[in-house]
Structure 1
Amino acid sequence: MKLKQAVTGIAVLASMTTAAHAQSAGSFFVSTGWFHLAPQSSSQPLRVTSIGGSPTDITEANTGASLGSADTIGVTAGYFVTDHIAAEFVIGYPPTFDLNGTGSLEQFGKLGQAKQWSPTLLFKYYFNAPTATFRPYLGIGVSRIWFTDEKITNGAFQSNVLHGPTSVTTDSSWEPVFNAGFTYAFNQHWFAGVSVSYLPLSTTAKLNTQAQTPVGTLNVQSQTKIKLNPIVTYVNIGYRF
């Protein structure tokens, strides 16, 4: 009987030790899941900064744009520095955002689109014990933001407002990220998680137009500052090593 109790005790201790290291210092984890990006967007009016090479400062009143929401798949990889602090790298397949007209431009609907890249480094503080099934956390980090494949897709907007073929470029920037969420452990390896992040993000879209005018084709440069401020939700499943 004593031998049986001893063996049972050793087995329980071993399982507790294994579980204790599931979310503790020195452990790695990966996850994959679905991102939903919901911009809280607004923009400044379109401002013409140059006509035919001559600087101008002409504001097109009652013009603006907003961004639609987007979804994409993402992956993360992280490391527990301590039992409660983890560093995590986050990246997703670049989602495509639609740019929609507002104000006098609302009649045109979708004006253009662009893909957003935003690899992110987060530092998270996990509450509860490393062996806990449910572990909420708070995080803060930084994201590098840039856009690709920016283009005007609305022919009527391009012809009637911009008056010619137009190319678009956008600024890149470093932005802070504020994050909160939780994980739920199914066992010592597998877990599911939900998180919400906020990025105070803005970018300046610069338009370069070959405008058709009564005196011929003139290069017209214009720009607008767009606030995205996306709220990003992430539902995922992960594995701890």
Structure 2
Amino acid sequence: MSQICKIVVPFACLLSVNFAYADSTNFKRWAVSAGWMHVMPQGKANSTHVTTAVKEGGSYGVGSLYGADLGKYALNGDTLDDSLGRLMFKSFVRNSQKDPNYKVPDGFMKGARADITGISDYTADGGMEIDDTDTLGLTLSYFVNDNVSLELVGGIPPKVDVKGVGEIRATALSTSNSSHLPPFSPPTYFDGLELLKDTLITDLGAHGTVAEVTAWTPAITAKYHFGTSGKNKFRPFVGAGVVYGHFNKLKLNGGVEDDLIQAGYMIDNILNDRAGEALHGGKGSSTATPEVKVKTSDAFAPVLTAGFTYDFTDRWFSTGSLSYMPNFNNVATVTVTDTSTGRQLIKSTTKIDLDPLVTYVGVGYRF
């Protein structure tokens, strides 16, 4: 709100300075209009930067481990340096083929740890785009002279749909490293075993509309009007100015929120030495209560506009315009926090390019 005031107050002061002069002439210096405003964002989705509470290369306890996960994700089980480790690996995988719920016996997992890389700080291809939207546009103009005007552009803040594009994935490499244990401890037989899993965090494209947000985008422009009042009913104009964007009342798609909560469980399991459960997926033994929050930054951008007015009478007129707002973008930040501990599990940021073309068709009145 303070940013909006920074735009509106100087404009209002300028108008008040000229108010007495405007009233002392027959020239109609004020004009208002209302009409249909159609917003067509031109920006494309950007990649998403993701960070988690997992330390890159950090050592975490494995806990329980499903034999089926060994078979799915192991890169080098058949080539482990330890021959006993190779035999046990093959045995565990065979057992899982008979029983999908088979877990590696606890005796082989006690004290087992793994170094985890790839999910502490990474960039995913998925992102967000803004859908077209319509709203009631309102303008207030003050004419400095017959050819130059200052205009405040606003309207009813529309609810805007945010589309998802692509997927957010996380690729984690877990390398067994139980060198802290005494020699010949069962977990050490698997040292060097690498498990690689590419996890789909959320399919933004499949969810379609991933969020809804209310957009406040007041603008101030200076315009030059060709022709002369009283002579030319049709008067083209060109102009330039600045737009301010503030976005609130953001609601996240329930499916995306559920996906991120599941990702929060995965991170919590790793942090609490249950990397095997994180590998398997699902909530597992996590006691976390993940909460997802989304916020967007404010934005400023230039405005370029061209259009016309057509007079019905000396007071009533119609107007139409096409405006472009280049480099109009903001940043969306999504966090997943364990409310039971206050620990932030996941943070992601993505730039949303708006860069809209805006058409406006309205009817106005001069006074």
Normalised by the length of structure 2, the TM-score is 0.54
Distance (whole Å) between structure 2 residues aligned to residue 26 and residue 133 of structure 1 = 15
Identify the residue that residue 86 of structure 1 maps to in structure 2: 149
Deviation sequence 1:157-186 (CA, Å, 0-9, x none) = 222256353211111122111111000000
- Residue 203 of structure 1 pairs with residue 330 of structure 2: yes
For 1:78-117, what aligned pairs fall within 5 Å after superposition? Answer: 78-104=141-167, 105-117=204-216
Q: Give the CA deviation at 1:73.
A: 0.6
* Cα deviations by residue, 1:182-202 (Å, 9 ceiling, x for unpaired): 000001000000011111211
Is the 1:151–1:167 contact (alpha carbons within 8 Å) kept by the matching residues of 2? no
Whether the 8 Å contact between 1:52 and 1:220 is mirrored in structure 2 is: no
Distance of 1:82 and 1:169 partners within structure 2: 43
Between the aligned partners of 1:49 and 1:129, the Cα distance in structure 2 is 60
Query: Comparing both structures, which one devotes a greater share of its residues to strand?
Result: 1
Q: State the secondary structure of the residue aligned to 1:94.
A: coil
Counterpart residue identity of residue 170, structure 1: T
Please say which structure displays the higher CA radius of gyration.
2
Whether the aligned pair in 2 keeps the contact of 1:67 and 1:100 (CA below 8 Å) is: yes
Per the alignment, residue 5 of structure 1 pairs with none
Mapped partners of 2:225, 2:354: distance in 1:
29
Number of equivalences: 213
The answer to whether the 8 A contact 1:52-1:218 is kept is no
Aligned residues of 1:26 and 1:81 also touching (Cα < 8 A):
no
Partner of 2:46: 44
Structure 2: runs of 5 or more not aligned? 1-25, 57-118, 168-203, 264-289
Residue 57 of structure 1 corresponds to which residue in structure 2?
121
The SS at the match of 1:160 is: helix
Where in structure 1 are there 5+ consecutive unaligned residues?
1-23
Structure with a larger share of its residues in helix: 2
Q: Is the 8 A contact 1:53 1:219 kept in 2?
A: no
Of 117, 136, 155, the match for 2:236: 136
CA distance, structure 1, for counterparts of residue 317 and residue 55 of structure 2: 58
Equivalence for 2:294: 168
TM-score, normalization by structure 1: 0.81
Q: Report the equivalent of 1:194.
A: 320
Please give the root-mean-square deviation of Cα atoms over the aligned residues, in Å. Answer: 2.4
Per the alignment, residue 139 of structure 2 pairs with 76
Q: For 1:219 and 1:174, locate their aligned partners in 2 and report how far apart those are by CA, in whole Å.
A: 31
- Identical amino acids, percent of aligned pairs: 35
